[in-house]
Each structure stands twice: as structure tokens, then as C-alpha cells.
A and B are shown apart, each in its own frame.
Chain A
Amino acid sequence: MSAPQVGSMPDISYNFAYLDEQTKRMIRRAILKAIAIPGYQVPFAAREMPMPYGWGTGGVQVTAAVLGPDDVLKVIDQGADDTTNAVAIRGFFEKTAKVATTTSTTEASIIQTRHRIPETRLRDDQILVYQVPIPEPLRFLEPRETETRQLHALSEYGLMHVKLYEDIARHGHIATTYAYPVEVAGRYVMDPSPIPKFDNPKMDDCPALQLFGAGREKRIYAIPPHTTVRSLDFEDHPFRVQRFARPCALCGATGVYLDEVLLDDRGGRMFVCSDTDYCTTRQEEGHRGEMSPPARDAQEDAA
């Protein structure tokens, strides 16, 4: 065994966006079916990808299938463009599809996401691709796939409410805060992937096409633009999103999802936008939070 010599690696050329055309066509067919039956989990022949399961193999395959040379791709993980997972996937498509990438929500035509929906309202010329670990919302209570398929087929969703009932019984309120189940277009109940329930309302009547890919579980599902998406709840325990006591410490935004950032080991902490692009854009627009750097910088920039 000898170490490969630096600089003498063969020039590897990939098919556009890594997957071969047949595979992409197969995935597109699954996507079309998923769009035709909102919220329904369409099985597809997920391929092995050059990354481990849990790193977004499902989302990457969906993105690869819908990506064109003129697209501008944004990838976020927990709302941030600069985490390892986001950077790696962005790099993957830069290399295999040579498409333009961006961190700006408004500039992107395709956004692949793990765990968040951008704060900026999406447009009808955008596609949001979710990475999904476990697509089956009924799995928590019903381990048999044959049975969950029956339950979906017959719209037997009492079990979903059993899950919520258990939450209230044990915690006094619906304690499910992410992957909160939704009913799509009045028919299928769907797992929205592990986004915070804060983001659930953004799925409703969203102008952008929303696609969900689960690589390990080999399922694709979709929410077509402007589809009704309703979070399940009880009459006396209605669905509510998380509220934050204070605005973003950096941009002063309210009504957005905040991350807690520890500042030291003495309990110092701050709450900042989880959507880094949103936060940066607001700061560039001159918005300030309680822990923003002094406004001098901005004045200098403006000068």
C-alpha cells in the first residue's frame, strides 16, 4: 500500500449532480407522484450516496433530481449555512453540478434544509427540500409498516392523537416541539421532519414547492404550493408555536425562531436568530439587538 501521490489524482468527472440520468428520472417520477398525492409517502429506490445516512442522503437525492444548471442552491442545517453538514452538501453540488450556491434565501432557487424553514417567506419560484430521518409519523406507536400503510390508506389517524394525548397526560401540555405531525390537504397525516413546531405554520399555504426525502427509509413526499397544512391538536389544547421572551440579541427580530448561545461558563447566554441569513441581512439593514457590536461599524461602512 502506498499513499496516493498528491497532484496525480485522476480527473474524476461526475454526471451532472452525481446521480445518473436514469436514477434522476426515477426520483422525478416519485416526486411527481408525491406532488399529485400531497403528504403521501412514495417509496423510491434510494441510492447509496457518498455520505453516511443521517447526513441528508434523501434530501441530496431529491435536490439532485430537481437541480438544473441555472439553479442557485442554498443549504442550511439548523438554520445556518456554515455548519459542517450544510457546507459539505453545498460543496458536493458545487463539485458535481457546478451550480451557483448562495447563503441568501431570496437569491436561492432551491434550498435544501435540515431542521428549519427559513424565516423569509418563500416564493413560488423556489423549492424547499427537506432532509428526513424517519418519514412515518405513526411509527412511534405502530412498529408494523404493513399496519401503518393500512392506517394511512384508511385515514385512521386516531393513533396520532393518542401520541398527543400521551404528551398532555405526561407533561400537562403537548410537549412535542419538533417533528410535530400535520395533516396535508385534509387527507394524509405527515411528519414534517424534525423542524421546530414553530415552523409548522410556514408550511401552510406556502407558495414554494416543498419536497421531503428520506434516504435510509427510501421515501419521498411533498406539499404542493399553496396547500393547506394543519397541525394536529385538541379543541382544549390547541396547537401553539413556541414564543420567545425577548428579541434576537443581534438583530432585534421578534417572531422568529431563536437559538440559545452560551457565552461563558458562568451562565452567560444570548438568544439569536437560528436563521443566520435572516439575521445577517437584518443587521446589514441596520437592525440592532441588545448585544450587537457598537453601531460605529455600521456608520463606518456607510461612510
Chain B
Amino acid sequence: MSARVADLPLLVAEGLSKDYGARIGCRDVSLKIFPGEVLAVVGESGSGKSTLLGLLSTELAPDAGRVRYRLRDGRLADLAGLGAAEKRLLMRTDWGFVRQNAADGLRMTVSAGGNVGERLMAVGWRNYARIRAEATDWLGRVEIAADRIDDDPRAFSGGMRQRLQIARNLVTRPRLVFMDEPTGGLDVSVQARLLDLIRSLVAELGLAVVIVTHDLAVARLLSHRMVVMRHGRVIETGLTDQVLDDPREPYTQLLVSSVLAA
């Protein structure tokens, strides 16, 4: 990728706000995401980080503000202005969404191969052998044995389900992937394997990632930049190592000092 393209933001969010009645979801959040960049959004439960992810991915509509995205033709388009068809096409080709609960991101009654192949079929692949070969390849890349291709995810462990979700999302070579606590609820050893996998795939494919996590170690390992949220607002941003090693805001200092050292 040329430096020029990498210099143009992939996604630009401006003044995003959303409330849930009297409860604040997200207040006046602006940020940019660049190609190949991993941005971590950290904060406690209820800090607004999941709301922000929902707004960025257009799953939620903002009360104020807008999200623009650079389409493959180079145009920076306001996502609210895209038609439903265009938006959904974008979501299933150029974007991915890895969810904390695999059941929300997978079709649990469809085989692993079918889960991975769905996006291909959605964009018009009509050759069974090719779909299967591509699915097999992706299962291999996420370290799922080829002989599990016809098993459905209900027979998979938590870690395998997350890896399957990743394969399902990456099969169309998206440019931007949203991740909501992808390692949440997994055993530590399983987490490590998943983090390593995400790390190498992100680097290999040059993915831009917005990852929401409450786990600062995950943020440190995966992200380049970090956004700290509290009460719906972004209170601190910077390079991940800056924010974690030299936190400025009282809340960030509290957050960093609350991490258990292994």
C-alpha cells in the first residue's frame, strides 16, 4: 500500500452522540481510523464503548454526528446516506464484525464450512468445490482442522467458535473489522492463542480493526492506538503504550493501576 493511501483515513467519525432515554450512551465522540491500524476502545462496562462500536458500524443510529467511510473507489461517503443495499453489501464484503458471543456472530445450526462460505455465496460464488476449498483454506488459517468442516459450531469449544467467527468474517478480505470483546469469557491459554491469531492475521492482511475491550493487556498486545472511554465520553487517546505507560487522566491512571500483574 502506498504511503498516500495509508495517509487517508478509512473511517471518520464526527461528534457521535447517542442517549438511551436519560442514560448516556455516547457523547460527542470523534475519531479516525486509518488503513492497517488497530484502535482499541477501552473502558469499564457502561462506559459507552459498545455503543460507540454500534455507532461506528452503523448498527445503531446516532442522535447526532456522522460516520464517513472511504469506499473502495476512494470516495469518503457518509454512511447514513448510503442505501440499505449498499450498506449491507459493505458490511458483508468490506467489513467484518467479531462478537463476544459466538452465537451472535455465527449460524449455530450451519456447518463450519457453510458459516465460512456464506459471505462468498452472498457475493455470488456459485461453485460448490471452490467455496469448499476456500472455506477449508480459511479454517486452516484459523487453526481449525479440515475434518471439522462439516461439524456445526455447537460442537466447537469457545475458542474454536471465535476462530470460526474470524474466518467467517475475513473470507471476503474486508478492510475494516469491528471486534467486541473477542476474547471475553475464554480461558487464558485459549485467549493467548486467539490473540496471537488475530495479531498475525491483522498484520498479514493489513486490516484496520476497532476492538472494544476492557482488558488492557489485550489492548496492549493488539492495538496501535487507544481510546479510553468513561461515562460515554472519550477522556484520553494516544499511542497504546503512551496511554498505558504514562496515563494522564485520573480515571485512566486508576484503570491502569487496577490491572493485576502476572
Using a CB–CB cutoff of 8 Å, the interface residues on chain A facing chain B are: 141, 150, 153-156, 158-159, 161-162, 165-166, 168-170, 233-237
Contacts and interface: CB of A to CB of B under 8 A. Distances in A.
A141 B106 CA distance: 11
Interface residues of B, number: 24
B113 A154 contact: no
Name the residue in B109, B111, B126, B149 with the highest tally of chain A Cβ atoms < 10 Å from its Cβ.
B126
Contacts of B122: 156, 158-159
Given A141-B109, A234-B127, 5 more contacts: A141-B110, A150-B84, A159-B118, A159-B121, A169-B149
Contacts of A159: 118, 121-122
B63 to A, nearest CB: 23
B156 to A, nearest CB: 16
A158 B119 contact: yes
Nearest to A153: B84
B123 A166 contact: no
B127 A165 contact: no
Nearest to B87: A154
Nearest to B123: A158
A162 B110 contact: yes
A162 B128 contact: no
Contacts of B248: none
B129 A169 contact: no
Nearest to B112: A169
Nearest to B150: A169
Interface of B: 84-85, 88, 107, 109-111, 113-114, 117-123, 126-129, 131-132, 149-150
Contacts of A155: 85
* 10 tightest A-B CB contacts, nearest first: A158-B122, A161-B121, A158-B121, A234-B128, A154-B85, A235-B127, A169-B150, A162-B114, A162-B118, A166-B114
A158 B111 contact: no
Contacts of B128: 165, 168, 234-237
Contacts of B129: 236
Contact of A162 (B84, B121, B123): B121
A21 B114 CA distance: 49
24 contacts: A141-B109, A153-B84, A154-B84, A154-B85, A154-B88, A158-B118, A162-B107, A162-B117, A162-B121, A165-B114, A165-B117, A165-B121, A166-B110, A168-B128, A169-B113, A169-B114, A169-B132, A169-B150, A170-B111, A234-B126, A234-B128, A235-B127, A235-B128, A236-B128
Nearest to A161: B121
Contact of A165 (B88, B123, B131): B131
A238 to B, nearest CB: 10
A93 to B, nearest CB: 41
Given A150-B84, A159-B118, A165 B113 contact: yes
A236 B121 contact: no
A166 B132 CA distance: 11
A91 B101 CA distance: 55
A158 B122 CA distance: 4
A164 to B, nearest CB: 8
A170 B150 CA distance: 7
Nearest to A168: B128
A274 B218 CA distance: 64
Nearest to A174: B128
Contacts of B150: 169-170
Name the residue in B107, B110, B129, B132 with the highest tally of chain A Cβ atoms < 10 Å from its Cβ.
B110
